[in-house]
Amino acid sequence: MEIEGIIEAISYKTKGIKVAGKWFNVPDELFNNLQKNQKVKIVIDDFGNVIDIQILGYEEVIDKDLKIEALKASIEILKICLQLGYADFLYASEIRKEKSLEFILKDLNTIYRKILEMLK
Protein backbone atom coordinates (compact mmCIF):
# COMPACT_ATOMS: atom_id res chain seq x y z
CA MET A 1 0.00 0.00 0.00
CA GLU A 2 1.21 3.54 -0.76
CA ILE A 3 0.65 6.64 1.35
CA GLU A 4 1.52 10.12 0.15
CA GLY A 5 1.84 13.10 2.46
CA ILE A 6 4.08 15.49 4.35
CA ILE A 7 6.33 14.40 7.21
CA GLU A 8 4.67 16.08 10.18
CA ALA A 9 7.08 14.85 12.84
CA ILE A 10 10.21 12.74 13.25
CA SER A 11 11.06 10.59 16.26
CA TYR A 12 14.79 9.92 16.48
CA LYS A 13 14.27 7.76 19.55
CA THR A 14 11.98 5.23 17.87
CA LYS A 15 13.22 5.94 14.30
CA GLY A 16 9.72 6.78 13.12
CA ILE A 17 7.95 9.42 11.07
CA LYS A 18 4.43 10.81 11.23
CA VAL A 19 2.72 11.07 7.83
CA ALA A 20 -0.99 11.78 7.31
CA GLY A 21 -1.57 11.61 11.07
CA LYS A 22 -0.07 8.11 11.51
CA TRP A 23 3.29 6.99 12.86
CA PHE A 24 5.47 4.62 10.82
CA ASN A 25 8.69 2.88 11.85
CA VAL A 26 11.41 3.39 9.25
CA PRO A 27 14.50 1.21 8.63
CA ASP A 28 17.85 2.87 9.40
CA GLU A 29 18.99 3.03 5.77
CA LEU A 30 15.88 5.01 4.80
CA PHE A 31 15.65 7.12 7.96
CA ASN A 32 18.90 9.09 7.55
CA ASN A 33 17.78 11.22 4.58
CA LEU A 34 14.42 12.32 5.99
CA GLN A 35 13.50 15.80 7.22
CA LYS A 36 10.38 17.37 8.64
CA ASN A 37 8.04 19.01 6.08
CA GLN A 38 9.29 16.83 3.21
CA LYS A 39 6.62 15.58 0.85
CA VAL A 40 7.01 11.81 0.61
CA LYS A 41 5.39 8.69 -0.76
CA ILE A 42 5.87 5.69 1.51
CA VAL A 43 5.28 2.07 0.56
CA ILE A 44 4.21 -0.21 3.41
CA ASP A 45 3.59 -3.95 3.56
CA ASP A 46 0.53 -5.72 5.00
CA PHE A 47 1.96 -5.49 8.52
CA GLY A 48 2.55 -1.72 8.43
CA ASN A 49 6.32 -1.91 7.93
CA VAL A 50 7.88 0.70 5.66
CA ILE A 51 9.46 -0.88 2.59
CA ASP A 52 10.39 2.19 0.56
CA ILE A 53 10.26 5.98 0.78
CA GLN A 54 10.28 8.33 -2.20
CA ILE A 55 11.02 11.99 -1.48
CA LEU A 56 8.73 14.06 -3.72
CA GLY A 57 9.81 17.52 -2.63
CA TYR A 58 9.84 19.95 0.22
CA GLU A 59 6.73 21.64 1.55
CA GLU A 60 7.45 24.95 3.25
CA VAL A 61 5.23 25.30 6.28
CA ILE A 62 5.23 28.65 8.03
CA ASP A 63 4.78 28.39 11.77
CA LYS A 64 1.61 30.19 12.92
CA ASP A 65 3.43 31.93 15.81
CA LEU A 66 6.10 33.19 13.43
CA LYS A 67 3.42 34.51 11.09
CA ILE A 68 1.68 36.36 13.94
CA GLU A 69 4.97 37.92 15.10
CA ALA A 70 5.71 39.09 11.55
CA LEU A 71 2.26 40.65 11.27
CA LYS A 72 2.65 42.39 14.64
CA ALA A 73 5.96 43.82 13.44
CA SER A 74 4.22 45.02 10.26
CA ILE A 75 1.63 46.85 12.33
CA GLU A 76 4.38 48.54 14.37
CA ILE A 77 6.10 49.63 11.15
CA LEU A 78 2.80 51.06 9.90
CA LYS A 79 2.43 53.04 13.14
CA ILE A 80 5.92 54.49 12.74
CA CYS A 81 5.21 55.38 9.08
CA LEU A 82 2.04 57.18 10.13
CA GLN A 83 3.90 59.09 12.84
CA LEU A 84 6.66 60.09 10.42
CA GLY A 85 4.13 61.03 7.75
CA TYR A 86 2.13 63.13 10.19
CA ALA A 87 5.29 64.88 11.40
CA ASP A 88 5.92 66.00 7.80
CA PHE A 89 2.41 67.48 7.67
CA LEU A 90 3.25 69.96 10.41
CA TYR A 91 5.26 71.93 7.86
CA ALA A 92 2.75 71.63 5.01
CA SER A 93 -0.16 73.93 4.17
CA GLU A 94 -3.60 73.22 5.67
CA ILE A 95 -5.09 72.02 2.35
CA ARG A 96 -2.21 69.66 1.71
CA LYS A 97 -2.44 68.30 5.26
CA GLU A 98 -6.05 67.18 4.90
CA LYS A 99 -5.64 65.67 1.44
CA SER A 100 -2.41 63.79 2.12
CA LEU A 101 -3.46 62.60 5.56
CA GLU A 102 -6.73 61.30 4.11
CA PHE A 103 -4.89 59.29 1.44
CA ILE A 104 -2.38 57.94 3.94
CA LEU A 105 -5.15 56.85 6.31
CA LYS A 106 -6.99 55.08 3.46
CA ASP A 107 -3.80 53.23 2.52
CA LEU A 108 -3.10 52.25 6.12
CA ASN A 109 -6.69 51.15 6.60
CA THR A 110 -6.46 48.91 3.53
CA ILE A 111 -3.18 47.39 4.72
CA TYR A 112 -4.58 46.91 8.23
CA ARG A 113 -7.62 45.03 6.83
CA LYS A 114 -5.33 42.76 4.81
CA ILE A 115 -3.27 42.01 7.93
CA LEU A 116 -6.43 41.13 9.87
CA GLU A 117 -7.53 38.79 7.06
CA MET A 118 -4.14 37.04 7.20
CA LEU A 119 -4.53 36.49 10.95
CA LYS A 120 -7.80 34.57 10.49
Query: 13-39, pLDDT tens digit by residue?
Result: 888 888 888 888 888 887 777 878 888
Answer yes or no: is pLDDT of 5 > 80: yes
Helix ranges restricted to H, 19-63: 28-31
Q: Are 9 and 15 in contact (CB under 8 A)?
A: no
Q: How far is CA 6 from the centre of its chain?
A: 15
The Cα–Cα gap between 78 and 70 comes to 12
pTM for this predicted structure: 0.46
Helix ranges restricted to H, the chain: 28-31, 64-89, 94-119
**Mean pLDDT lowest among 26-30, 83-87, 107-111, 116-120:** 83-87
The reported pLDDT for the residue numbered 72 is: 80
Q: How far is CA 108 from the centre of its chain?
A: 23
